[in-house]
């Protein structure tokens, strides 16, 4: 079953995955826990070609949509709020955003 995501949702999934503030520090994560980052740092990320970060005001609505679809987990605690891919969201990011072949090639350097 393919989960439908919008271009903006794909952008936010990417922003979470390759974020300056997660443990991978712009790198390619190998598992969902490596995508955890501060919600106020989503703009500090590595976007893919053709992606453009949405405006700050629209990000919360996009994140809400991703939470409703079960693709991200968000901890709603003000300045200390965090966000990360769920297991499903991580697979959607690999298959529909980053590309499984690209992901496998990128993580092969960790093996």
The answer as to whether 2 is a domain residue is no
Domains contained in the chain, number = 1
Instruction: Compute the mean pLDDT over every residue in the chain, rounded to the nearest whole number.
Output: 94
The answer as to whether 90 is a domain residue is yes
The answer as to whether 105 is a domain residue is yes
Map residue 32 onto helix, strand or coil: helix
Q: What integer pLDDT is reported at residue 104 of this predicted model?
A: 97
**Residue 39 lies in domain:** 7-110
Map residue 19 onto helix, strand or coil: strand
Q: What is the pLDDT of residues 4-43, one digit of tens each?
A: 999 999 999 999 999 999 999 999 999 999 999 999 999 9
The answer as to whether 103 is a domain residue is yes
3-state helix, strand, coil in the chain (%, to 5): 50, 10, 40
The answer as to whether 72 is a domain residue is yes
CATH number, residue 91: 1.10.10
Q: What is the pLDDT of residues 45-97, one digit of tens each?
A: 999 999 999 998 899 899 999 999 999 999 877 778 999 999 999 999 999 99
């Amino acid at each position: 079953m393919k989960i439908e995501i919008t271009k903006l949702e794909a952008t936010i999934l990417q922003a979470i995955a390759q974020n300056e503030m997660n443990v991978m520090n712009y790198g390619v994560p190998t598992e969902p826990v490596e995508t955890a980052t501060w919600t106020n740092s989503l703009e500090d990320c590595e976007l893919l070609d053709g992606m453009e970060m949405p405006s700050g005001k629209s990000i919360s609505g996009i994140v809400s949509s991703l939470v409703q679809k079960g693709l991200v987990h968000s901890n709603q605690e003000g300045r200390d709020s965090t966000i990360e891919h769920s297991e499903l969201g991580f697979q959607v990011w690999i298959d529909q955003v980053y590309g499984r072949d690209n992901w496998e090639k990128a993580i092969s350097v960790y093996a």
